[in-house]
Amino acid sequence: MEFIERSTARELQEYTKMLNDILEHKFTNGSDPSDDMLFNTLVSTIEMLRIYYNPWINCDVYYTTFNFFAKMDFTSPKFIQYILDSELMDFIERALVKSPSYIIEEAILFFHNLVTLASDEHIPKFYDFEFIQVLINYIRYSKMSQNHLQNIGKLAFQTLELLYQKSEEVLARKRLSRA
């Protein structure tokens, strides 16, 4: 049993180091990692989160994962589509419900960046996630709170505002194209 725990810890450390290495490469060299490297990292992330899904026990893994995705620019529609269709959104929702506040902030930042980069056809998919209700709840809780939830509430509000704004823009473009 101890061997399994040690090998799991080692695997988690290697995974966290891999994400940090990719980020370091991006920001120190000023060059983007290849699409293949990002795609493989994305698939590995989903698999890793499926295995180690408890954000309270594996805080470093969740924090590094969301920090990584919050900083990466997934400008390719292929990546955004994959993220929306994969189980990653389920893990984000799960992390938002039962996580330390610093992980919640990273998860919301990641979601915010996804909305920012999403194209017209991706925007409606965001409404399929319970994530929106979770963000609304954080906004409600933050109004009654005098602590870290206020920052989370502001970030949640900005994210919902951005999603609403982009949705309005999509609807306006559709109306113009019909006219």
For the chain, 179 residues long, the average pLDDT of each consecutive 10-residue run is 49 72 63 66 70 61 69 66 72 70 78 81 80 78 68 84 90 85
Task: Note the pLDDT of residue 1.
Answer: 34
Task: Note the pLDDT of residue 59.
Answer: 66
Q: Which of 69, 52, 63 is nearest to 10 (CA)?
A: 52
Q: Output the six-digit token pair for 87.
A: 């189980």
Query: Which residues are CB-contacts of 70 (< 8 A; sequence separation ≥ 6)?
Result: 106, 109, 110, 112, 113
Instruction: State which CATH number among 3.90.550, 1.10.1740, 3.30.2310, 1.25.10 fits the domain covering 2-178.
Output: 1.25.10
Task: Note the pLDDT of residue 58.
Answer: 61
Rounded-to-integer distance, Cα 132 and Cα 63, Å: 20
Q: Give the residue extent of every domain in the chain.
A: 2-178
Task: Note the pLDDT of residue 4.
Answer: 39
Task: Note the pLDDT of residue 165.
Answer: 92
Neighbours of 8 (CB within 10 A): 13
Rounded-to-integer distance, Cα 115 and Cα 170, Å: 13
Rounded-to-integer distance, Cα 87 and Cα 130, Å: 13
pTM for the model stands at: 0.69
